[in-house]
């Protein structure tokens, strides 16, 4: 739990939120012994985060994925974010409430460092967190021993993804839908608003072949409409 000396001259406020009291207490103890950080708020839900942020903005937020987001945050989150998260296979609010909190924070406090902690090791869950462009993701098994170095890295502008998290993300990438070169060509043109006939002319194929490729792409990406394909394409290109 060694901290980098470059941070020793200033204490940075850290907000933590986790619905598991043992984790919350452990983080408070470890961070409380630090020379570089202190806990400015400890809550158990997105509602607690929402309430604190009305008054002050911390340097870093350490958030659990599997906590309730709170009605106020859920109302303010872009519905497309909720839809995208649920498409990753997360159905119950308590499974992904922390992700909604992250989305809300990113939209309103872009300079806030965000570290996700989770006990869930599913590739879909970890990937959903990483896609929100958080500053780090850690499994709870590693938190107590590594939290202070992780916070230091985030303050210095460096990402924090443990080797185990990286392996999980790599597994998710390997399991992601694979499109053929032709499907990617069709996909990109669809995403830029071209109609089937226009795509057919550009690629020198028939409109029926275009429709065939679009059907395959929708099936591989679990999309039902062209609008969903367009949203998926641009999200992946961010």
Go through the domains of the chain in sequence order and give each one's CATH number. Answer: 5-174 (3.40.50.2300), 181-233 (1.10.10.10)
Model confidence at 6, pLDDT cuts 50, 70, 90, reads very low
Instruction: For residues 66-93, give the mean pLDDT.
Output: 81
**Mean pLDDT score of the chain, rounded to an integer?**
85
Per-residue confidence (pLDDT) for residue 238, from 0 to 100: 45
Contact 72/48 with Cβ under 8 angstroms? no
Integer Cα distance of 67 and 101 in angstroms: 9
Per-residue confidence (pLDDT) for residue 91, from 0 to 100: 66
- Positive or negative: CA dihedral 5, 7, 10, 11: negative
Per-residue confidence (pLDDT) for residue 1, from 0 to 100: 52
Local structure of 64: helix, strand or coil: strand
Per-residue confidence (pLDDT) for residue 96, from 0 to 100: 84
The encoded tokens of residue 109 equal 């406090």
Per-residue confidence (pLDDT) for residue 79, from 0 to 100: 86
Per-residue confidence (pLDDT) for residue 182, from 0 to 100: 85
Instruction: For residues 137-160, give the mean pLDDT.
Output: 90
Model confidence at 75, pLDDT cuts 50, 70, 90, reads very high
Q: Beta partners for 13?
A: 38
Burial 208-226 (b: 16+ CB within 10 A, else e): eebeebbebbbeebebeeb
Integer Cα distance of 56 and 39 in angstroms: 13
Alpha helices in 109-142 (DSSP H): 123-130
pLDDT single digits (tens) 81-114:
887 777 666 766 667 899 999 999 999 998 999 9
pLDDT single digits (tens) 192-235:
888 899 999 999 998 888 988 898 888 877 778 888 778 777 66
**How much of the chain exceeds pLDDT 90, in percent?**
42
Q: Could you tell me the CA-to-CA distances from 95 to 54, 127, 165 in Å, in that order?
A: 25, 14, 18
């Amino acid at each position: 739990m060694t901290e980098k000396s470059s941070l020793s001259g200033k204490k940075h406020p850290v907000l933590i939120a986790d619905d598991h009291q043992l984790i919350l207490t452990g983080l408070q103890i470890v961070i409380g012994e630090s020379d570089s950080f202190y806990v400015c708020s400890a809550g158990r839900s997105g509602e607690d985060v929402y309430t604190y942020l009305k008054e002050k903005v911390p340097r870093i937020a350490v958030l659990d994925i599997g906590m309730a987001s709170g009605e106020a945050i859920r109302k303010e989150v872009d519905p497309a974010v909720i839809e995208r998260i649920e498409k990753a296979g997360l159905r119950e609010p308590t499974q992904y409430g922390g992700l909604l909190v992250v989305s809300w924070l990113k939209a309103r406090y872009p300079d806030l460092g965000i570290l996700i902690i989770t006990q869930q090791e599913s590739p879909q869950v970890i990937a959903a967190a990483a896609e929100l462009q958080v500053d780090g993701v850690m499994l709870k098994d590693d938190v107590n021993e590594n939290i202070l170095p992780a916070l230091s890295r985030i303050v210095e502008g460096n990402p924090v993804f443990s080797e185990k998290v990286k392996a999980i993300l790599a597994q998710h990438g390997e399991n992601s839908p694979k499109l053929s070169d032709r499907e990617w060509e069709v996909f990109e043109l669809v995403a830029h608003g071209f109609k089937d006939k226009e795509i057919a002319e550009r690629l020198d194929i028939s409109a029926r072949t275009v429709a065939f490729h679009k059907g395959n792409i929708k099936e591989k990406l679990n999309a039902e409409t062209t609008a969903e394909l367009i949203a998926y394409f641009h999200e992946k290109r961010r």
